Structure 1
Amino acid sequence: MDKTTERLVDYAMEARHEALSAETRHECKRRLVDTYACAMGAYDDSVCRIAREIAEQYSGKSGASVWGSGIKTVPEMAAFANGVMVRFMDISDTYQGKGRGHPSDVISGILAIGEAVHADGPSVINAITVAYDVYCSFEDAIDINSKGWDHAVYGVVAGALGAGKVLGLSCEQMAHAVALAVAPNMALIVSRHGDLSNWKGCAGANASRNSVFAAMLAHRGLTGPGAAFEGKGGLWEALGGGFAWPLPDPNAPRMITRTHLKSLPICYHGQSAVLAAFELRRRVPIDDIGEIEVDTYGVAIQMMAGDPNRWAPTTHETADHSLPYVVSRALLDGKIESASFTHERLTDPTVLKMMRKVKVRESRALSERYPQGAPARLTVRLNSGEELVHEIEHPLGHAGNPMNDAQLEEKFRRMFGAVGRSDRCEQALRVLWNFDKAADVSLDVFEPLAAVHR
């Protein structure tokens, strides 16, 4: 194995649940609560139904649950179907380094393999924290988006190490799992440009599926390239050269504690602007708005206003990544939810008129405060000439302005309400908060969760 693979494998192999701080363990359980909430909120969408229908066609001796459905399928297809549900509404967690991505993409795969092999809760929590460390440190090391690759690449590497940890792979097997994740799975950034398709919410789930498959292959003895990172034709060559990739200090708070939750089902880079719009809406007469100015950081503009499609979105996937649309919708409705992105809402003449009043500008000062913050300043200018301004540095859920447990549970109840009764929601919450006490996650977590939906 090459040096990079060796460092990753050593890091994963040495990680122990007993070494995790109480904060890290609790934050991992919070990500489990949040991830399941995201999946339930998207359950009835047509894209999620497609993923479940495909998963239902597969079965195996070691099965894993498709959440909320009663379906048991092979682990890699459970990883995909559940991962699609997690990502579809764009309300799952995020991490912002040199790169950008959604580290909870790894969770559906690690949970699927954990259920299939009857792992205990602490082992799964340990594997998730390892995968988050790898994912987030990879983001801190390099912006692969600028090289033409999608953030799913972060996920497939991290997920393979997490899945391999649950499977109990040897050092040699873990190295092959990483190679089998990297070599076949370089996802293109085209998924994030132009008119965004259904695949936008599926790419991370596909990485999770492929990471599980890579670990399963390595477990059976299948080998991958020996120098997947540093060899000729390896990942470093694909990215234009090698780079420093320091891994976290295992004795410090783990990187999962520095990831951000979302309160709104939109691209992370629009959260502050929309929350500012909610605040100003209480203070302005909507019919008197003359101009709307959004000042924010460069990455937010690149992601949410830098493409003509963001100014005339025609799909849910494009609209939830459109600053003009989500700010206009927030001012008009005082809320953003899944129903904000139907065809009827996208073509509503009222919102199209409001969008024509929006201007988006990069502020150098705000760009300098990213990624430590996610700042946006909203200025609403009335027809009378009066200006109202509101600025937000850390949106709710940011590590600098975290949701408390009560707020996270409120999000869970809101998302779960799409598929279940309120009393059953409380049962699901109890199961997830006690994840670390499970002697067998198949029996102690997934069977009770399946019962919640019957």
Structure 2
Amino acid sequence: MSDAVAAGLAAFVDERPPSSPEARHEAARRLLDVFALAVSSSPDHAVQVAHSLAEPRGTDDGVTIWGRDGRCDLLGAVLANGVGARYRDMNDAYFNRESLHPSDMVPALAGLAESRQASVGALLDAICVAYDVAVDMADTWRTSSRGADHVNLIRFGTVAGAARLLRLDPECTLQAFAIAASSGIATRQTRRGQLTMWKGWAAAEAGVAGLRAVAMAAAGAHGPTLAFTGDQGFQVLAVDEATWVEQWPFRGAGREHSRILDTHLKVYPVGYLGQAVAEVGLDLHRQLDGVPPVQATIRTYARAKQIMGDPEKWVPRSAETADHSLPYIAALALVHGRVDVDTVPRRWDDPAVTKLLAAVSVDVDEELTAGYPEQMPVRLEVTTEDGAQRAAEVRWPRGHARRPLPDDELARRGVQMLEPTFGARADDLVARILAHDEDQPAARLWQA
């Protein structure tokens, strides 16, 4: 007996028509984003630890760690690139019943494409299929209420993209999904309380696990029957019962819309639910001519407070906690007028920031909650020392699918992040990725 969920996922991967040119271009934009982030974060300690685990390989059988010379083993490169891409918390996002950062799947698929000498077109199509599966899962399942982390969906999306890239037959893909569903559940404790470097590692490890499941299935291994729907399967252990499914409820294999087009890019290196807070905080900093207020109130939707407004977020003791703290992001923007990779991880003990942080409140607004997740609304109200009040509000932060970043802005950001490593070659790398000649080998996009 086969699992109907695994069978439906496998059939979708096999039958999905080629992704549209618009979707493939968006996949190239996400590749540029994670590549530039991984290269720019390579000096960070947590990323260096990931690099140290990779095993050196020759040029014929190795895979690139982005921004470094030499080659290493596939899974080592995937872990290193995945940690680098995720660690500064600036890659893309999606929200519905579950939230996730779907571009966490890109380093795994890029590494696999390089190892198999796959084309740019094949890689971009695989990325789109991976997004289709992971985003659809975020629409369907609620896992966080069961203590399961969203990176479980990254593991399944990676399986989908890898199976598509390798053109596995549906039975083999089914077995890969079954293995992935039965070989470990990532827990939500990763994102509770004071956060550690594992917040930036968990998704990269999920990508490794997805590739490992595909490799096992491709070699002939079979996963458990009823891996998703059995009485001790993934759904029972990791999914809210109200959102269980007996068969996978895709909108139909063959639908033209690609889910990558529904996801959002970040502008600031903070959790996505803090993007709007950073935007309105910087707006008010300009309105106040840089003079910090004495009190601030963030009005937002319930999920934003649940994830980024719990009590520990008023006393961040790590960069990982700081970039997931609504009150800290607001205080940083209002005091310093900057929310970037140089300020977010380093100013949580700044006296001026901590003084205002103590006077920031986060309130759930019922009207704003009703607008989520179609909107990501925030209203920031401040009071100055003379008692004057100002406010700023945004419904969709810049980078949201409703307010997408143009290619030229994404290109400038990419060049800025790549120049310290690649110098004058950064412009060519960025242009090459955005042009994405689909017939050339995928690795040509990131090998300077």
| Alignment correspondent of 1:332 | 335
Q: How far did residue 395 of structure 1 move? A: 0.6
Q: How far did residue 274 of structure 1 move? A: 1.1
* Per-residue deviation, residues 92-128 of structure 1 (Å, max 9, x unmatched): 0001111001011111111111111111121111111
Matched, 1:42 2:41: yes
Instruction: Find 2:255's aligned residue among 246, 251, 255.
Output: 251
| Alignment correspondent of 1:209 | 208
Paired AA for residue 86 in structure 2: R
| Alignment correspondent of 2:415 | 413
Checking the alignment, whether the CA contact within 8 Å between 2:90 and 2:267 is kept in structure 1 is yes
| Alignment correspondent of 1:192 | 191
SS at match of 1:55: coil
| Alignment correspondent of 1:133 | 132
SS at match of 1:202: helix
Distance, in Å, in 2 between the alignment partners of 1:342 and 1:96 is 25
Distance, in Å, in 1 between the alignment partners of 2:199 and 2:355 is 27
Distance, in Å, in 2 between the alignment partners of 1:163 and 1:136 is 16
Paired AA for residue 260 in structure 2: I
Q: How far did residue 303 of structure 1 move? A: 1.1
Deviates more, 1:410-419 or 1:211-220: 410-419
Q: How far did residue 339 of structure 1 move? A: 2.2
Residues 199 and 290 (structure 1 numbering): CA distance in 2 closer, same or farther, change over 3 Å? same
Paired AA for residue 11 in structure 1: F
Q: How far did residue 185 of structure 1 move? A: 2.6
Aligned residue pair count: 442
* Per-residue deviation, residues 128-151 of structure 1 (Å, max 9, x unmatched): 111100000000002211111001
Matched, 1:294 2:298: yes
1:32-111 pair list within 5 angstroms: 32-56=31-55, 62-111=61-110
Distance, in Å, in 1 between the alignment partners of 2:87 and 2:217 is 30
Alignment root-mean-square deviation, CA? 1.7
Distance, in Å, in 2 between the alignment partners of 1:47 and 1:379 is 36
Checking the alignment, whether the CA contact within 8 Å between 2:379 and 2:394 is kept in structure 1 is yes
1:438-453 pair list within 5 angstroms: 438-442=439-443, 444-445=444-445, 449-450=446-447, 452=448
Paired AA for residue 409 in structure 1: A
* Per-residue deviation, residues 234-253 of structure 1 (Å, max 9, x unmatched): 11211253237422443332
Instruction: Find 1:382's aligned residue among 384, 388, 393.
Output: 384
Deviates more, 1:432-441 or 1:322-331: 432-441
Paired AA for residue 291 in structure 1: Q
Q: How far did residue 385 of structure 1 move? A: 1.9
Checking the alignment, whether the CA contact within 8 Å between 2:113 and 2:442 is kept in structure 1 is yes
* Per-residue deviation, residues 340-380 of structure 1 (Å, max 9, x unmatched): 2445x222211111111211101010111111111100111
Residues 315 and 418 (structure 1 numbering): CA distance in 2 closer, same or farther, change over 3 Å? farther
1:347-362 pair list within 5 angstroms: 347-362=349-364
Residues 47 and 438 (structure 1 numbering): CA distance in 2 closer, same or farther, change over 3 Å? farther
Distance, in Å, in 2 between the alignment partners of 1:4 and 1:342 is 41
* Per-residue deviation, residues 429-454 of structure 1 (Å, max 9, x unmatched): 12212334233224x33xxx33x3xx
Distance, in Å, in 1 between the alignment partners of 2:94 and 2:251 is 15
Paired AA for residue 214 in structure 1: A
| Alignment correspondent of 2:274 | 270
Distance, in Å, in 1 between the alignment partners of 2:318 and 2:186 is 22
Checking the alignment, whether the CA contact within 8 Å between 1:16 and 1:126 is kept in structure 2 is no
SS at match of 2:382: strand
Checking the alignment, whether the CA contact within 8 Å between 1:100 and 1:143 is kept in structure 2 is no
**TM (normalized to structure 2)?**
0.95
Instruction: Find 1:281's aligned residue among 277, 282, 285.
Output: 285
Q: How far did residue 48 of structure 1 move? A: 0.7
Q: How far did residue 57 of structure 1 move? A: 5.2
Paired AA for residue 2 in structure 1: D
Distance, in Å, in 1 between the alignment partners of 2:20 and 2:98 is 27
Q: How far did residue 209 of structure 1 move? A: 0.6
Q: How far did residue 59 of structure 1 move? A: 7.2
Q: Please, which runs of 5 or more residues in structure 2 have no aligned partner?
A: none
Q: How far did residue 328 of structure 1 move? A: 0.8
Paired AA for residue 276 in structure 1: V
Residues 108 and 362 (structure 1 numbering): CA distance in 2 closer, same or farther, change over 3 Å? same
Paired AA for residue 332 in structure 1: V
Residues 248 and 201 (structure 1 numbering): CA distance in 2 closer, same or farther, change over 3 Å? farther
Q: How far did residue 60 of structure 1 move? A: 9.9
Paired AA for residue 421 in structure 2: V
Q: How far did residue 409 of structure 1 move? A: 1.1
Distance, in Å, in 1 between the alignment partners of 2:178 and 2:85 is 26
| Alignment correspondent of 1:147 | 146
Paired AA for residue 161 in structure 1: A
| Alignment correspondent of 1:182 | 181
SS at match of 1:379: strand
Checking the alignment, whether the CA contact within 8 Å between 2:38 and 2:81 is kept in structure 1 is yes
SS at match of 2:400: coil
Q: How far did residue 384 of structure 1 move? A: 2.0
Using the aligned pairs only, state the percent identity.
30
| Alignment correspondent of 2:326 | 323
Residues 54 and 358 (structure 1 numbering): CA distance in 2 closer, same or farther, change over 3 Å? same
Deviates more, 1:249-258 or 1:107-116: 249-258
Paired AA for residue 15 in structure 1: R
Checking the alignment, whether the CA contact within 8 Å between 1:59 and 1:74 is kept in structure 2 is no
* Per-residue deviation, residues 147-195 of structure 1 (Å, max 9, x unmatched): 1100111010110111122122122211111111111131000000011
Distance, in Å, in 2 between the alignment partners of 1:380 and 1:417 is 38
| Alignment correspondent of 2:307 | 303
SS at match of 1:391: strand
SS at match of 1:396: coil
Q: How far did residue 56 of structure 1 move? A: 3.5
Matched, 1:13 2:17: no
SS at match of 1:282: helix
